[in-house]
Amino acid sequence: MSNNQYTAQENYERLLQNNKQFVVDKLQEDPAFFDKLSQGQSPDFLWVGCSDSRVPANQITGTDSGEIFVHRNVANIVDINDMNFLSVLHYSVDVLKVRHIIVCGHYGCGGVLAAMGRTHIGMVNHWISRIKDIYLKHEGELNAIVDEKERGDRLVELNVTEQVRNLAKIPMVQRAWKKRELSIHGWVYGLSDGLLKDLNVVQEDLNDIEKIFQYENI
Ligand code: CO
């Protein structure tokens, strides 16, 4: 939400002003707050969310600095050709040893809705084209939903579920499963009520994914 009571320049400067207040507030709560954070991080969670400005990981989960390692892209996609994502996954799973990975989509996701349509917007269409494949995979169920908004909401859920499955197919994740506990969860955030919904599509074991994706020699 842009803040209309400010000019664009004031709106920009507001961020730096807010930062000063943030430091004051944090030090008031805990004088050692920044000292502790500067020592290092050991978050329990990796968050794979949408870039949408309305879905800030820490704010909606009531967590603080240092608690969630975050990767966000348009429509929270797990792409095994995305070096950025794979680097985030590697660092959080193999080095930080997070215990949970949360894929969090959101209802009304512009990326998912665009994938349902046939308008070419540009570059982003390439990125979200795989969501069309998810649509086709569940075409029967989706086409049976008459209300377009409801159909979009269901595709948001199916996209999250598919991305959770994509994570389970990655050798890096399967290697971690051989050694320790690591749960992958699928959530959807409601923009209109602020609530998170757990889709209960947890993957936490090699046997949770179909056999053809289970590597034998890792
Ligand atoms: Co979105």
Residue 3 clears pLDDT 70, i.e. is over it: no
Determine contact, residues 201/164, Cβ cutoff 8 Å: yes
Q: Is the pLDDT of residue 138 over 60?
A: yes
Average pLDDT over residues 100-117: 97
CB under 8 A, 24+ apart: contacts of 16-19: none
Which tens digits make up the pLDDT trace of 53-103? 999 999 999 999 999 999 999 999 999 999 999 999 999 999 999 999 999
Of the residues 50, 71, 130, 165, which is catalytic? 50
CA quadruple 78, 80, 85, 87: dihedral sign: positive
pLDDT reported for residue 1:
55
pLDDT of residue 64: 96
Q: Starting from the edge strand earliest in sequence, which strands make up the sheet with 68-73, in order?
A: 68-73, 45-50, 100-106, 183-189, 196-198
Non-local (6+) Cβ contacts of 161 within 8 A are 186, 199, 201
Q: How many CB atoms lie within 10 A of CB 169?
A: 17
Q: Check pLDDT > 90 for residue 41.
A: yes
Q: Which residues surround ligand 1, an ion (CB under 5 A)?
A: 50, 52, 109, 111
Q: What is the largest CA-CA distance in the chain?
A: 60
pLDDT tens profile 153-170: 999 999 999 999 999 999
C-alpha 45 to ligand 1 mean position (Å): 20
109 as an active site residue: the answer is: yes
CB contact burial 108-118 (16+ within 10 A = b; e otherwise): bbbbbbbbeee
Query: Each residue of 115-133: pLDDT tens digit?
Result: 999 999 899 999 999 999 9
Alpha-carbon span 205 to 147, nearest angstrom: 36
List, in sequence order, every beta strand (DSSP E) within the chain.
45-50, 68-73, 100-106, 183-189, 196-198
Rounded Cα distance, 170 and 90, in Å: 11
Is-catalytic flag, 30? no
Other beta carbons less than 10 A from residue 35's beta carbon: 9
